[in-house]
Amino acid sequence: MEVNGPTGEDAVMASARWWSATAAEYIAEHGDFLGDADLRWCPEGLTEDSCAFLGPVAGARVLEVGAGAGQGARWVARHGGDVVASDVAEGMLRQARIIAERTAISVPLICADARALPFADDSFDIVFTAFGVLPFVPDPGRVHREVARVLRAGGRWVFSTTHPMRWVFADDPDPDHLRVVRPYFDAPPYVEHQDGVVSYAEFQHTMADVVGAVIGAGFVLDDLLEPRWVPGNSHTWGAWSAARAPFVPGTLIIRAHLP
């Protein structure tokens, strides 16, 4: 579904600037939680090591989109995948280079909008992202179609994203403050401006939008998760908190494949 608000191009340019400018701060705040070479799917704390939702990667040609500092891609490299990490924000890729040096796990880094990937058709066996790209574009169907283009037949597409129900509540980790402040249907995007230019944008996508866009791009939906809070996780991330997590879902994770 198309929404009123920034165009895809404006949103992507805003993301490139925003995530570059805030990358160091983001890693300072969340880097330890994410791990340098781990695939952590969501603020609830679920890791690929504990759920094996991405599935086997050894020997596979793998692409991470919206990779940020490439923690997930480094996890894939540790597990024998031939992986490339891509992100639209140069500043995030700069953080990836710093972590690569520290860990001595280096993966190829490509600066690219996931809506227009610089790869040939049928290049990858697996594409994945943990909270990259999808909440930040008005047209996620375009991302799914682009992922379908670069995946070979039978390839897997696995992504985590903001749960469609999360959007309706205030951005507040205290469950006592849970009340509906935004409509679920036809919600306008959250947009910030600087000097009249879009500086940050996030878009609401309903469950039907998400599933419809995946299927519409030609994928077969295999499984989905609404992760519970992992016991012992004390990292509060925006509105995601141990106290709030039992009441409302925060994350949606989907696994699909191309026929």
Ligand X SMILES: C[S@@+](CC[C@H](N)C(=O)[O-])C[C@H]1O[C@@H](n2cnc3c(N)ncnc32)[C@H](O)[C@@H]1O
43 binds ligand X (CB under 6 A): no
34 binds ligand X (CB under 6 A): yes
163 binds ligand X (CB under 6 A): no
**Secondary structure (H, E, C), 36-69:** CCCCECCCCCCEHHHHCCCCCCCCCEEEECCCCC
Closer CB to ligand X, 30 or 175, in the complex: 30
The residue type of 38 is D
CB of 37 to ligand X, least distance (A): 13
250 binds ligand X (CB under 6 A): no
92 binds ligand X (CB under 6 A): yes
Distance CA 130, CA 127 (A): 11
With CB under 6 A, what is the number of residues at the site for ligand X?
22
Beta bridge partners of 110: 86
Closer CB to ligand X, 132 or 250, in the complex: 132
- From the list 57, 77, 84, 130, which residue makes contact with ligand X (rule: CB under 6 A)? 130
Closer CB to ligand X, 12 or 99, in the complex: 12
C-alpha pair distances (Å), 70 with each of 36, 40, 84, 109, 209: 8, 11, 9, 8, 27
Pick the piece of the chain touching ligand X (CB under 6 A) from 51-59, 126-134, 198-206, 246-254.
Answer: 126-134
CB of 255 to ligand X, least distance (A): 16
- From the list 62, 133, 151, 230, which residue makes contact with ligand X (rule: CB under 6 A)? 133
> Does residue 223 sit in helix, strand or coil?
strand
6 binds ligand X (CB under 6 A): no
Q: Count Cα atoms within 13 angstroms, Cβ side, for 230.
A: 18
- From the list 13, 15, 95, 109, which residue makes contact with ligand X (rule: CB under 6 A)? 15
What is the enclosing helix (H) or strand (E) of 20?
helix 8-21
Closer CB to ligand X, 59 or 102, in the complex: 102
CB of 139 to ligand X, least distance (A): 10
114 binds ligand X (CB under 6 A): yes
State the sign of the Cα–Cα–Cα–Cα dihedral 73, 74, 79, 80.
positive
Going through 73-185 in order, the beta strands assigned E by DSSP cover 82-87, 109-111, 124-130, 151-162
**Site residues for ligand X, window 53-72 (CB under 6 A)?**
65-68, 72
Closer CB to ligand X, 21 or 180, in the complex: 21
**Neighbour-count burial of 131, counting CB atoms closer than 10 A to its CB (0-12 exposed, 13-18 middle, 19+ buried):** buried
Interaction site with ligand X (CB under 6 A): 12, 15, 19, 34, 65-68, 72, 87-89, 92, 113-115, 130-133, 136-137
